[in-house]
Amino acid sequence: MKILILTLGTRGDVQPYIALGIGLTMAGHDVLISTSERFESLVTEHGLQHGSMGEDLLGILETDLGREMIDRTNNFFRLVKRFPSVSRQIGPSGRTMLRESWDVAQSFAPDIVVFHPIAYGGQHIAERLGVQAVMALPLPMMIPTSEMANFWFPDLPLGGSYRRLTYGLHRILIDLATRPNIRDFRERLGLSKTYESSPWCNGGLQGMPVLFAFSEHILPRPSDWPTQVTTTGYWFLGANHDWAPSRELAAFLDAGPQPVYVGFGSMAGRDPEGLGRIVIEVLQEMGLRGIIATGWGGLGAVDFPETVLRIDGAPHDWLFPRTAAVVHHGGAGSTAAGLRAGKPTIVVPFFGDQPFWGQRVFKLGVGPRPIPREQMTKERLSAALRQALTDPNMKERAQQLGQRINDEDGVAKAVSVIEELRPGSS
C-alpha cells in the first residue's frame, strides 16, 4: 500500500510518525511523511520520503505572541483569552498547510492517509481521494470520555458529565478556528461545504479509526471509548547506530556519578536565561552534576560551571539511561523517553498537554508533583530533585514501569491495525 502520513508540530509531533513510517516500510509499504521543512533531514535519513510543509505554524512559537502563549496559556480559560490573537495568526498558516498537504497527496496518490489532527486536512483529503483516513496522535485529546477531563481543563470531582462537557467546549473553540479554512478547502476540492465536523470535534469521527501512540501502562484505556479507538503503545525510533556522543559528552559521563538531565525542548518561553540560571544554581547548591540540553529554543546561554555540561541535544534513548533523573517540560515524547529509561521524572510543564503528562507521572509515583513553569523556583526544584534522587520506592517504580514499556511494541500494533484497513480486505 501507499501510505501518506501528515503531521505537524515540534519534534515530539514528528518523531513518532517517523517510527511508524519505518515500521510500515519494513512491512513492505510505500510511505511518505509530509511535515515541515525543518524535519526533512530527520525524515530522509531514516529512509523515508518527505513531502514539504512550510514553517508558518511552527514559526508562531518563535514570535512574541508564541512565547507569551507558552508561558501563560496552560488551561482552557487562558486559551480562550488569547484565542482572538492566536486565531488571527494561525488562520493564514492553516490555509497554507492545507494547500501544501493537498499538493503532496495529489502527487503521491495514497491508499491510506494517516494524520495528526494538527494537520487537520487529512480526513478531507482522504474523502476527496476516496481512501481511508486514520487519525493518529500521541496524546488523549480527541475522544470524549466520562473518565477523565480534556487536558485543557482541571479534572474536578464533578462527575462524568462534566468530563465529557470539557471535550465539547474544547471542540467549539478549535472548530471556530479551523472551520472557515476547512469550508474553503473542501470547496477547492469539489466537496460539499456541509460536513459532519473536523477531526477536532466529537462528531467528526464517523467510525474513523483512531490510533493513540502511548502506553496503557501510563494511561489505561477508558471503558467508554468507541471500538475504532486503539491504544497501541509508544512509537519509538530504533537506536541510531551511526550516532556517537561527542568526546566532550563521553568524557563528562565517565568523569563522575550519573548526572541529572535537564531539557525543555522547544519551550523557550520569554526568559530562557532566567530558567537556565535557576537550574544551574540548584545543581551547584545540591552538589549535583548535570547535563543541560539547550536545543531549538530551549535554555538560554548562561555561564556553565565544570560540573554542568551544555549540549545541543542527544538521542534520548541513548542519554536518559545514563542519567540519575530527568527534568523536562512534559511533552509526550520526552515523557515517554524518560519513563522508558526507568528514571524518576520531574516535569516542568509550560502549556498544552504537558500539565496532563506531569500529573500522570506524579500519580504513577514515578516522579514528584509537577512544577508549572510560572511557579518554578530554586526551592521547588531543589525539593523535587531531592525526592527523585533519594526516594527508593520512586526509583523502583520507575524501573518497573520502564521495563513494562520496553516490553511493548507499539509500532507493530499500529502497523497491524493499518494493514487491516487495506483496500479490499475484510
Q: Are residues 53 and 139 in the same domain?
A: yes
Q: 10: which 3 cell numbers?
A: 515540534
Q: Are residues 278 and 170 in the same domain?
A: no
Under 8 Å between Cβ of 233 and 244: no
| DSSP reduced 3-state for 328 | strand
Q: What value does the mean pLDDT take over residues 217-231?
A: 94
Q: Are residues 91 and 13 in the same domain?
A: yes
Least confident of 80-94, 243-257, 280-294: 80-94
Q: Are residues 7 and 141 in the same domain?
A: yes
pLDDT band (50, 70, 90) for residue 239: confident
Under 8 Å between Cβ of 143 and 225: yes
Least confident of 103-117, 165-179, 342-356: 165-179
Residue type for position 16: P
Q: Are residues 372 and 415 in the same domain?
A: no
Under 8 Å between Cβ of 10 and 35: no
Query: For the domain that residue 320 is a member of, what is the CATH number?
Result: 3.40.50.2000
User: DSSP string spanning 224-265?
Assistant: TS-TTEEE----PPPP-TT----HHHHHHHHTSSPPEEEE-T
Please give the Cα distance from 376 to 199 (Å, whole number).
35
pLDDT score at 203? 42
Q: Are residues 68 and 11 in the same domain?
A: yes
Q: Are residues 264 and 390 in the same domain?
A: yes
Work out whether the CA dihedral 198, 193, 179, 120 comes out positive or negative.
Answer: positive
Quote the distance between the C-alpha of residue 156 and its chain's center. Answer: 24
Q: Are residues 120 and 144 in the same domain?
A: yes
The answer to whether residue 426 is domain-embedded is no
Least confident of 198-202, 229-233, 389-393, 396-400: 198-202
The answer to whether residue 126 is domain-embedded is yes
Model pLDDT for residues 364-384, shown as the tens digit of each residue = 999 999 999 889 999 999 999
Domain that holds residue 173: 2-234+408-419
Please give the Cα distance from 415 to 2 (Å, whole number).
13
The answer to whether residue 240 is domain-embedded is no
Q: Are residues 183 and 45 in the same domain?
A: yes
Residue type for position 146: S
The answer to whether residue 424 is domain-embedded is no
pLDDT score at 272? 74
Instruction: Fill in the DSSP letter of residue 157.
Output: S
Report the Cα–Cα distance between both ends of the chain, in Å, rounded.
15
Q: Are residues 218 and 252 in the same domain?
A: no
Average per-residue pLDDT in the chain?
87
The answer to whether residue 172 is domain-embedded is yes
pLDDT score at 252? 97
Q: Are residues 195 and 343 in the same domain?
A: no
Q: Are residues 199 and 304 in the same domain?
A: no
Model pLDDT for residues 383-421, shown as the tens digit of each residue = 999 999 999 999 999 999 999 999 999 999 999 999 999
Under 8 Å between Cβ of 401 and 109: no
pLDDT score at 303? 77
The C-alpha torsion from 182 through 186 and 189 to 191, rounded to 10°, is 160
Number of domains in the chain: 2
More confident of the two residues 252 and 60 = 252
In total, the chain counts a number of residues equal to 426
Percent residues over pLDDT 70 in the chain: 84
Model pLDDT for residues 31-52, shown as the tens digit of each residue = 999 999 889 999 999 999 999 8
